[in-house]
Amino acid sequence: MRAVVHERYGPPDVLRIEEVPRPVPKADEVLVKIHATTVTRTDTGVRAAKPALIRLFFGLRRPKQPILGTELAGEIEAIGAAVTKFAVGDHVFGSTSSFQSGANAEFIALRESAPLAHMPAGMTFEQAAAVTDGAILALMCLEAGHIHTGQKMLIYGASGAIGTAGVQLAKYFGADVTAVCNTKNVELVRSLGADRVIDYTQEDFTKNGQSYDVIFDAVGKHSFKQSKGSLKSGGAYVATDGFRNFFLHLWTSRIGDKKALFPVPPRYTQKNVLFLKEVIEAGKFRAVIDRCYPLEEVVEATRYVETQQKTGNVVLTINGSVTP
């Protein structure tokens, strides 16, 4: 099978398409023929080993898992003898488990209990592939901030994969959402349900006199220090990355009434994927896709993700665009 392989850390050019052995599912595994996958911000960090801490999980000198990719949508090609939840031919979507990869390939073997579910009705493979990573990370951050009806929340970086998911899920849970993005994405973010949208090129939310119960930094470009003055007493700044936030989380949990929260490690579960399926089928969530590239153009797709200007998700299609 074809797969995107990187045998050393470095720039996008270390990626190449190679023929590798097709995995054989174990008794409790399914073999998924992948029709669409993605390139995420996490993928680019793992490939480049930035921050360096990534090497502790993915290999000190070289990648332990040479095939990148975590999100996928496709169909069940084969099942192990003990599998009961899925059958050959089922259309599925989901993710690899935490600290695993391998989805940028034509096939992947996953445990039946992996973050995998039957695809929502009416979705294309491309749309379904662009759901789980951003949405599960957003869900984890919303839960850390104790999301509830009437909560006043600001989402910074509301047009990325995590941000577009965060806006929709926060509204699903009944929060009052202020979204921050750039000019070109104002209308998109408003269409996702945000109660108000701030164009950061025109207005600095930290200087408008408003305060929030939660400030959710979905792109890692803000900070607790910058946000603190816009938090209500007892409020929380929730970060998606930046190892400094781990220490801030420990420090502010003991001192002061405003907290920095850093929910790690990421937790990808089948329960979360099933929840997202329900929300999608209820018409409360949609995948936002910026661009689709064929698998062969993974280097170009990766370079685009690294511009940090993508809107929503970047999808890789395998064997052409496929609609279920």
Q: Whole-model pTM?
A: 0.93
Are residues 168 and 119 located together in one domain of the fold?
no
Are residues 127 and 184 located together in one domain of the fold?
no
pLDDT of residue 245: 61
Q: Which domain holds residue 97?
A: 2-131+287-317
pLDDT of residue 246: 64
DSSP for 56-100, written as a single string: HHH-SSS-SS-B---EEEEEEEEE-TT--S--TT-EEEEEPPTT-
Q: What is the pLDDT along the chain (324 residues), one digit of tens a residue?
A: 999 999 999 999 999 999 999 999 999 999 999 999 999 999 999 999 988 878 988 888 999 999 999 999 999 999 999 999 999 999 999 999 988 999 999 999 999 999 999 999 999 999 999 999 999 999 999 999 999 999 999 999 999 999 999 999 999 999 999 999 999 999 999 999 999 999 999 999 999 999 999 999 999 888 888 999 999 999 999 998 766 766 666 677 677 788 888 887 788 999 999 999 999 999 999 999 999 999 999 999 999 999 999 999 999 999 765 455
pLDDT of residue 255: 78
Which of 94, 160, 123, 185 has its CA nearest to residue 314?
160
Task: Give CA–CA dist 274/276, Å, rounded.
Answer: 5
Are residues 213 and 306 located together in one domain of the fold?
no
**In the structure encoding, which two tokens stand for residue 230, read together?**
């816009």
Domains: count for the chain? 2
Task: Give CA–CA dist 259/228, Å, rounded.
Answer: 9
Residue 183 located in a structural domain: yes
Are residues 83 and 151 located together in one domain of the fold?
no
Residue 281 located in a structural domain: no
Residue 184 CB contacts under 8 Å (≥ 6 apart), including other chains: 311
> pLDDT tens, 188-239?
999 999 999 999 999 999 999 999 999 999 998 888 889 999 999 999 999 9
Are residues 18 and 114 located together in one domain of the fold?
yes
DSSP structural state of residue 193:
T
Residue 271 located in a structural domain: no
Are residues 118 and 58 located together in one domain of the fold?
yes
**Residue 146's CB: how many other CB atoms inside 10 A?**
11
Q: What angle do CA 270, 294, 290 make, to 5 degrees?
A: 70
**Paired strand residues for 314:** 39, 291
Residue 276 located in a structural domain: no
Which of 70, 72, 128, 133 has its CA nearest to residue 99?
70
Residue 47 located in a structural domain: yes
Hunting for tokens 């200007």 — which residue is that? 309
Residue 269 located in a structural domain: no
pLDDT of residue 48: 93
* CATH code of the domain covering residue 239: 3.40.50.720
Are residues 118 and 222 located together in one domain of the fold?
no
Residue 185 located in a structural domain: yes
Are residues 138 and 56 located together in one domain of the fold?
no
Are residues 74 and 174 located together in one domain of the fold?
no
pLDDT of residue 76: 98
- Are 224 and 239 a contacting pair, CB within 8 Å? yes
Are residues 256 and 165 located together in one domain of the fold?
yes
Task: Give CA–CA dist 79/87, Å, rounded.
Answer: 7
Give the strand pairing for 107-111 and 91-95.
unpaired
| Dihedral pair phi/psi, residue 251, rounded to 5° | -70, -50
**In the structure encoding, which two tokens stand for residue 166, read together?**
């965060």
* CATH code of the domain covering residue 27: 3.90.180.10
- Are 306 and 183 a contacting pair, CB within 8 Å? no
- Count Cα neighbours of 283 within 13 Å in the Cβ-side half-sphere: 0
Hunting for tokens 């064997």 — which residue is that? 319
What phi-psi label fits residue 220: left (phi over 0), alpha (psi between -120 and 50 degrees) or beta? left
Distances (CA, A) of 214 to 74, 208, 209, 323: 36, 16, 15, 39
Are residues 138 and 78 located together in one domain of the fold?
no
Are residues 97 and 10 located together in one domain of the fold?
yes
Residue 226 located in a structural domain: yes
Alpha helices in the chain (DSSP H): 41-48, 54-58, 125-129, 132-144, 161-172, 186-191, 224-227, 244-252, 270-281, 298-305
pLDDT of residue 250: 61
